[in-house]
Structure 1
Amino acid sequence: MSSTSRSSASSASSPYDLAGLHVEEAGDSGPVLLCLHGIGSSSAAFAPQLATLSRYVRVVAWDAPGYAKSADPADPFTLDDFADTAAALIRQRGGRAHVLGVSWGGVIAVRLAARHPELVSSLIVADSSAGSGTDPAKAEAMRARAGELAEAGPRAFAERRGPRLVSEAAPDALVQRVTDTMARSLRLPGYRYATESMAATDLRIADLAAVRAPTLVLCGDQDRVTGIEASQMLTADLHSSVYVIVKDAGHLANQEQPDAFDAWVLAHLRISAGIAEAG
């Protein structure tokens, strides 16, 4: 089933006008699976999931506020603002959703589940961390990225960072696709808001322990960005979680090994939502 693109109607409960939010959608039935991309990407990162998982669920992937085809926020955005905008999108799509977040998207997803537990049926957190606020050096490096983007421009910035997001054995076509997606998705001030939201966040303080939704945590075994230990640390404080290593995958496991990744996600959904086998 092919994906469709549309803008969302506005919602008074959101800090962001949803009329300016671009989403890609696929699937006509089943529960909603909301997909939140990483800090250097867009809804394009979920092309494999839009194509495959849409046979079982309604897949909704956003361009975060200030990214790709979504409008810039009117005011500076915090992690709470990104989470509250995702909450408004879930309410618009029916009131509850399973939430899949990759990297920065996983940090948003955990904050969303902590702030709006009534909206989150389950979580899938992939190649993520507790935020850059867990370490002053990491926070400083994260904040510096916006200046690097302003100085280098999106294309040069993407060519510098894109190849590290996949394993060293990743095919050239995937490296190019990841790099092109980053170059097309990033701009200021949205990227600055995103990096600041990461730099200011340590989910260990309160968020992880507050999450009650069943959670699947995945990480590529060759993740060179957040790494296995950072993602595994999330499970220590989560109330109900399962941890999975995705073999032969870097930081973008959902793109590099989509068959294995989607199989784990579907198994999680079948347990938490009763998704049936395809006919």
Structure 2
Amino acid sequence: MTAVHVEEAGTDGPLLLCLHGIGSSSAAFAPQLAGLAGQVRVVAWDAPGYGRSPDPDTPLDLDGFADAAADVIRSYGSSAHVLGVSWGGVIAVRLAVRHPRLVASLVLADSSAGSGTEEAKAAGMRARADELAALGPRAFAERRGPRLVSDLAPAALVEQVVDTMAGAVRLPGYGYAAAAMAGADLRPELAAVTAPALVVCGDRDTVTGVEASQLLAGALHRSAFVIVKDAGHLANQEQPGRFNAWVLSHLHIVTH
């Protein structure tokens, strides 16, 4: 079992496991931990090798990250609803394929089928570990963080995103994640997902973009697709009120 740090809020209601993006940590889910705790038991992880989680003993591929998430679910009970943002959504899909009984439903936010769908995207993702090694976490975050939110985002949110990334990413964990993302092409396995899914995307997401989310929604058997207005790649942070309302609506539908 891979040990990870988690943040928790709420004691009643369905269990919601939150998986952050490739440049983030559990801190990205502060709006969900605060906003959903009255109705949902929210658990947000620092992925292995991120934030306050220890570095993994051996290299992890996408299956390894998915299995680590499965271990978290088992530690709380029999199943969970899984919310994955960007890279976290890629992990969530693989988790749902490998461990279908553990995943009651999915929320895939500003996600994709992986960077392995196009060679240029895969190459760019593979280069990120060297970029982090050359720049260090703070400069890396200052270069990459601002593009994750829309041009409408307040300066305070941009600063928060950069600070979260700077405190979260390090090698070797980020390198394992980037390699896993570069090698991921989930398109052939989306049809195997049995869990109902809500696919959410900010209308101003320029990182993965609306089309990538539409691909997910169209290939999954049981899915709904929602656009969140005035949000970039981190819709859950940029428009938390709207985002949380959709999550609660989804959970109400799939649990009743």
TM-score (norm 1): 0.91
Q: Give the counterpart of 2:205 among 219, 223, 240.
A: 223
Query: Secondary structure at 2:127's aligned position in 1?
Result: helix
Q: Which residue of 2 aligns with 1:9?
A: none
Question: Is the counterpart of residue 45 in structure 1 residue 28 in structure 2?
Answer: yes
Q: CA deviation at 1:57?
A: 1.1
Q: Write out per-residue CA displacement over residues 98-118 of structure 1, whole angstroms, 9 at most, x where no aligned residue.
A: 000000000000000011010
Q: Which residue of 2 aligns with 1:260?
A: 242
Q: Which residue of 2 aligns with 1:152?
A: 135
Q: Give the counterpart of 1:234 among 213, 216, 222.
A: 216
Unaligned runs of at least 5 residues, structure 1: 1-13, 275-279
Query: Secondary structure at 1:262's aligned position in 2?
Result: helix
Query: Secondary structure at 2:210's aligned position in 1?
Result: helix
The alignment-based identity, stated in percent, is 70
Q: Give the counterpart of 1:68 among 29, 51, 54.
A: 51
Q: CA deviation at 1:243?
A: 0.4
Q: Give the counterpart of 1:115 among 98, 102, 106.
A: 98
Unaligned runs of at least 5 residues, structure 2: none
Q: CA deviation at 1:255?
A: 0.1
Q: CA deviation at 1:95?
A: 1.1
Backbone CA RMSD of aligned residues: 0.6
CA distance in 2, matches of 1:143, 1:178: 22
Q: Which structure 2 residues correspond to residues 1-279 of structure 1 after superposition, within 5 A?
A: 14=1, 16=2, 18=3, 21-206=4-189, 208-274=190-256
CA distance in 2, matches of 1:236, 1:224: 20
Equivalent residue letter for 2:212: A
Equivalent residue letter for 1:84: D
Count of aligned positions: 256
TM-score (norm 2): 0.99
Query: Secondary structure at 1:151's aligned position in 2?
Result: helix
CA distance in 2, matches of 1:235, 1:271: 17
CA distance in 2, matches of 1:233, 1:49: 25
Q: Which residue of 2 aligns with 1:7?
A: none
Query: Secondary structure at 1:98's aligned position in 2?
Result: strand
Q: CA deviation at 1:30?
A: 1.4
Query: Secondary structure at 2:111's aligned position in 1?
Result: coil
CA distance in 2, matches of 1:229, 1:198: 18
Stretches of 4+ moved more than 4 A in 1?
none
Query: Secondary structure at 1:205's aligned position in 2?
Result: helix
Q: CA deviation at 1:182?
A: 0.3
Q: Write out per-residue CA displacement over residues 154-201 of structure 1, whole angstroms, 9 at most, x where no aligned residue.
A: 000100011100001110000000000000000000000000000011
Query: Secondary structure at 2:130's aligned position in 1?
Result: helix
Q: Write out per-residue CA displacement over residues 123-171 of structure 1, whole angstroms, 9 at most, x where no aligned residue.
A: 0000000000001111010000000000001000100011100001110
CA distance in 1, matches of 2:225, 2:75: 31
Equivalent residue letter for 1:247: K
